[in-house]
């Protein structure tokens, strides 16, 4: 079953105001987005089966968060098994009063990519976040390392998706209520905007970018060599 969410500019601005007031006056914040960390769950199950074959107790199974929920900007990490379900929480947007409506990860669940109502993309390294081998499992209130962030749109981001294009590395596709869909590198370099009259070719853009990088490397090497000669 698929669910279609339709956001209007007015409803999003109203939600921003309600989020900034907090949950004291309006009760629990609604869940804006859920993200299941499939690779994490798969690897943990493989580890569990290995313990089972070696007749080792499942008590030694690493307890990890495999589900992330976004609630009024707070990102909660949940375990679906073990002694503790709520494993950690941190605030995702860069300023108070915003919400995260779009989330995705890369193929190995190393990077968590979030798009907020301010139009900003933030990329976190969650490789070691909410992974516990101790008992009892403690609640993790620390924020994972923020590796990249940039202003991707001028209004709320409602969709983001990670993709790996051939040998060129990781890319992020975003869509916003500003009526644009954009393609970025995971470092925040804009590749192009979809739906423009002037069409663009990703192969040409990436190849030209690669040529520019090679030229910059050659120039740096020449400058370094000239410095040694002097």
Helix (H, G, I), strand (E, B) or coil at 54: coil
Alpha-carbon distances of 164 from 28, 107, 127, 161, 184, rounded to whole Å: 37, 9, 18, 10, 11
What topology is assigned to 9-199 in CATH? Lipocalin (2.40.128)
Domain ranges of the chain: 9-199
133 has pLDDT over 80: no
Cα 160 from Cα 115, distance rounded (Å): 7
What's this model's pTM, rounded to 2 decimal places? 0.75
Residue 148 β-bridge partners:
123
Which residue in 129, 126, 121, 89 sits closest to 109, CA to CA? Answer: 126
**Each residue's pLDDT tens digit, 141-194:** 899 999 999 999 999 999 999 998 877 788 999 999 999 999 999 999 998 899
Whether the CB-CB separation of 185 and 193 falls below 8 Å is answered with no
Residue-wise pLDDT for 43-68, tens only, equals: 877 765 555 555 555 444 566 778 99
Position 1 confidence tier, pLDDT thresholds 50, 70, 90: very low
DSSP bridge pairs for 115: 102, 121
Q: How far is 57 from 61, CA to CA, in rounded Å?
A: 8
> CA 4 to CA 199: how far, in whole Å?
29
Maximum Cα interatomic distance, the chain, rounded to a whole number of Å: 70
Residue with tokens 């006056």: 25
- Residue 183 CA, distance from chain mean position: 15
């Amino acid at each position: 079953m698929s669910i279609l969410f339709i956001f209007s500019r007015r409803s999003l601005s109203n939600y921003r105001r309600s989020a900034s007031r907090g949950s004291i006056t309006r009760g629990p914040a609604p869940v804006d987005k859920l993200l299941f960390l499939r690779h994490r769950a798969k690897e943990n199950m493989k580890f569990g089966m290995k313990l089972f074959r070696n007749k080792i107790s499942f008590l030694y199974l690493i307890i990890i968060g495999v589900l992330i929920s976004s609630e009024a900007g707070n990102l909660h990490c949940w375990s679906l098994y073990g002694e503790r379900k709520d494993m950690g929480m941190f605030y995702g947007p860069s300023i108070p009063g915003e919400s995260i409506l779009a989330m995705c990860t890369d193929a190995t669940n190393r990077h968590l990519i979030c798009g907020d109502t301010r139009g900003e993309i933030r990329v976190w390294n969650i490789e070691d976040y909410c992974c516990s081998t101790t008992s009892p499992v403690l609640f993790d209130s620390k924020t994972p390392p923020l590796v990249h962030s940039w202003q991707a749109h001028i209004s709320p981001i409602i969709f983001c998706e990670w993709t790996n294009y051939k040998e060129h590395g990781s890319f992020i596709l975003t869509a916003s209520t500003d009526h644009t869909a954009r393609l970025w590198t995971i470092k925040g370099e804009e590749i192009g905007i979809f739906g423009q009259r002037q069409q663009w070719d990703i192969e040409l853009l990436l190849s030209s970018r690669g040529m520019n990088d090679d030229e910059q490397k050659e120039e740096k090497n020449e400058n370094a060599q000239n410095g040694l000669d002097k």
